[in-house]
Amino acid sequence: MVSTLEGPDGQPRCRWCAAAPEFLRYHDEEWGFPVTDDRRLFEKLCLESFQSGLSWRTILVKRENFRAAFAGFDFGRVARFGESDVERLLGDSGIVRHRGKIEAVIHNARMAELLAEREGSLATYFWRYEPSPAKLSEPQNASTSAASHALSKDLKKLGWKFVGPTTVYAFMQATGLINDHAEGCITRARVNETRQALASIRAAHAPLSGS
């Protein structure tokens, strides 16, 4: 079992949220909460791709710069980016200037357009890969899973880039496809409540295109 630590309010939280000042709010308000908005899903997958080989703090502190550079991760707009945009982004010191990853975001935006058109939304597609809780390992004791391998394989088959199973697993953690908060973490219970509410909506056949 992953240990917790006492937060500033005296409540137990995942130990990793004390590693940097920016992490506490991210842990309490974002990480693991279900995401059903297509633009946010695209953003999170792109940022996880940029994070590969780097620390998450590096990406988190630059997140607003990434949003400005990539048109708020509106994949319909990013899909229209061309070589001049690649050069502009390579000159932007506010983001991670990695040509392969920059070009992958633009390429994946085009793939996202096709996928959203085929499925009705990105959310419909991604949430299909939500694993059964019974198939999950102990919280934060894995970097990949059968579900992340399956999703990664299918995304690659569809033409997406920089979507290996480790990147996809981090995406699944961040977007609430799994609740990987430590047992005993105060936020784990809040995430479960949100996931249960979403499950009720899905059971009633409401579209997964939330805000």
Model confidence over 10-62: pLDDT tens digits?
Answer: 999 999 999 999 999 999 999 999 999 999 999 999 999 999 889 999 999 99
Element holding 54 (H helix, E strand): none
Contact assessment for residue 89 and residue 96, using Cβ atoms and an 8 Å cutoff: no
3-state helix, strand, coil in the chain (%, to 5): 60, 5, 40
Active-site residue, from 16, 26, 113, 119: 26
- The predicted structure's pLDDT at residue 206: 55
Q: Using CA atoms of 39, 42, 47, 49 in order, give the dihedral in degrees to the nearest 10.
A: -170
Model confidence over 96-119: pLDDT tens digits?
Answer: 999 999 999 999 999 999 999 999
Contact assessment for residue 89 and residue 102, using Cβ atoms and an 8 Å cutoff: yes
Residue 98 labelled as part of a binding site = no
Query: Exposure pattern of 149-184 as b/e (b: 16+ CB <10 Å)?
Result: eebbeebeeeebbbbbbbbbbbbbbbbbbbbbbbeb
Residue 67 pLDDT > 90 = yes
Active-site residue, from 6, 16, 43, 48: 48
Kindly list the structural domains of the chain, giving each domain's residue range(s) and its CATH number in brackets, ordered by start. 4-204 (1.10.340.30)
169 is catalytic: no
43 is catalytic: no
- The predicted structure's pLDDT at residue 210: 45
The candidate with the shortest Cα–Cα distance to 114, out of 172, 54, 69, 159, is 159
Q: Using CA atoms of 207, 70, 78, 36 in order, give the dihedral in degrees to the nearest 10.
A: -10
State pTM to two decimals: 0.93
Residue 185 labelled as part of a binding site = yes
Model confidence over 121-159: pLDDT tens digits?
Answer: 999 999 999 998 767 778 888 899 999 999 999 999 999
56 is catalytic: yes
Contact assessment for residue 155 and residue 134, using Cβ atoms and an 8 Å cutoff: no
Residue 14 labelled as part of a binding site = yes
- The predicted structure's pLDDT at residue 203: 76
